[in-house]
Chain A
Amino acid sequence: MAVTTPQVRRLTAVETKLYLREPAVVFFAVGLPIALTLILGGTIPDFTVPDPALGGLRPIDTHLPGVMIILSVLTCAFSLLPTVLVTYRERGILKRMSTTPVSPITVLGVQLTLNVAMSVLTTVLILVLANLVYDVPFPKTPLAFAGILLLGMVSSFAIGLLLAALASTSRIVQGLGMAVFFPSLFFAGMWVPHALMPDLLRTISEFTPSGAFGAALIDMLATGTAEWMNIGVMVAWGLVAGIAAVRFFRWS
């Protein structure tokens, strides 16, 4: 099926417009993580105190931006992307497209790209604003940081696509998304940093995709390296969820 560039460009333009016409979407994916970084960084005194355990870095240098980046990624991956895809399927839009010269897989690709772009944009804004406002250093190894971000996104978005594949209605996918979203944030260290978790809980966390993502991303911000174990867990989840999503996804 020939999909030429002008069609993809037009579809991207339309889907982006629709995305931006939902103010709540922009707020939760972009505004909230940035605002929380700036507000919590400025209001919780402990966040700005250097910690010898972190080699003299402050939690605002590592933990806070790390979990806020994950908040943005998971919002896009577990909530926004699956909801749009299931709504499109529910409304017959994907089926409708499959009668045209453009395959509905294009819409999936555009939506995936859009949500990845949105969380990358948020990540960059968090790093830049935290640097400007609180002097948070940029990642020491930008390429490795980008690699970990990419892996975390691959595993998160693969799970999001699996949710979209399994849920039959948009109502169900929203419920499923939330049921995965909050525990995932917890395992990522949103409320209790990994360093403060009991050993057993920390071990469990690091076998979850978001827990491994959180650990690796915060390590990256603190030391410029990540553990192979965390990387392996993300790759494994990405593969398993990705293959299952492809296996179970329905266009109508």
Chain B
Amino acid sequence: MAIITVQNLRKQYGDKVAVRDVSFSVEEGEIYGIVGRNGAGKTTTVECVAGLRKPDGGTIRVDADIKQQVGVQLQESIMPDKLRVGEALDLYASFYANPASVTELLDEVGLDPKVGFAKLSGGQRQRLSIALALVGNPRIAILDELTTGLDPQARRETWELISRVRDRGVTVLLVSHFMEEVERLCDRVAVIAGGAVLAVDTPAGLISRTGGVQRITFRSTVPVDSLRSLPEVHSVAVEAGHVTVTGDQNVLRAIVTALPDSAISNLKTETSSMDDAFLALTGE
């Protein structure tokens, strides 16, 4: 059953339309991604869902108490410098009718309760922010640009944390412009551009929409012009003996059939990724 339903959401700031027409629904227990470029309307959309902004049109239905049961992690939310981690969590826990255990949360996010906010690293701040979103024992967690500005190690730790959150049965609405993050975490994704939804699918579904483009790179000791006429091949580029061929799912077999074995070395294949799918969908 859908726990969040957004229909024909519209929001503008003065003359500027931030969200033109956005509809999607989130099932209970899933990690739902909202992806798009900067300025696509992602943050405005989730801020409307979180009750922070009043939509100018459309409807939003959230099957939970918006204050008590929806935890929010906002983009760039900073605590007072001298507030300690434990104090922040105790304080926010006191706001809710049925809070989570602060000790368990601290353990889960791996933070020392005695450290002041100013002394936390970027990754630790992000983990505190996630812990604050979870401290009310929410049914839904809305997480906006969770790993922006984190180093790869911190990013991976954060992803693991989110997977564990989902395992506890929390529905997660995740805003991101990191395709790797979305591919790894999300059950379903809505791609937003220009204030409207372009596509909703699983990450794998989105990738297969781009036609399963394959990219093959290799070195060749013989000319490769003959490849251009093969039906499986989309493009061939040669640079200093280094060949890049793109084509459909059968392109690899076509290449090795067309060229003598001994001519090919350093062969690598890449399947299209979420990045390619995103770029294809948003028109680049």
Which residues on A are within 8 Å of B, measured CB to CB? 1, 6-7, 10-11, 14, 17-18, 21-22, 87-88, 91-93, 95-96, 98-102, 252
Contacts and interface: CB of A to CB of B under 8 A. Distances in A.
A93 B95 contact: no
Contacts of A95: 52, 74, 77
Contact of B67 (A17, A88, A99): A99
Interface residues of B, number: 25
A174 to B, nearest CB: 16
B159 interface: no
A196 to B, nearest CB: 43
Contacts of B50: 99
7 contacts: A7-B94, A91-B77, A91-B78, A92-B74, A92-B76, A98-B52, A102-B95
Given A10-B94, A14-B83, A99 B78 contact: no
Given A101-B67, A101-B68, A93 B94 contact: no
Contacts of A102: 95
Contacts, number: 60
A22 B95 contact: no
Contact of A18 (B72, B76, B80, B132): B80
B260 to A, nearest CB: 63
Contacts of A14: 83, 87, 91
B91 A88 contact: no
Given A6-B94, A17-B87, A100-B136, A92 B51 contact: no
Contact of A101 (B77, B90, B97, B132): B97
B51 A93 contact: no
Contact of B90 (A10, A18, A93): A10
Given A92-B76, A99-B51, A100-B136, 9 more contacts: A6-B94, A10-B94, A14-B91, A18-B82, A91-B77, A92-B74, A93-B79, A95-B74, A99-B72
A91 B52 CA distance: 16
B91 A11 contact: yes
Given A21-B82, A91-B78, A7 B95 contact: yes
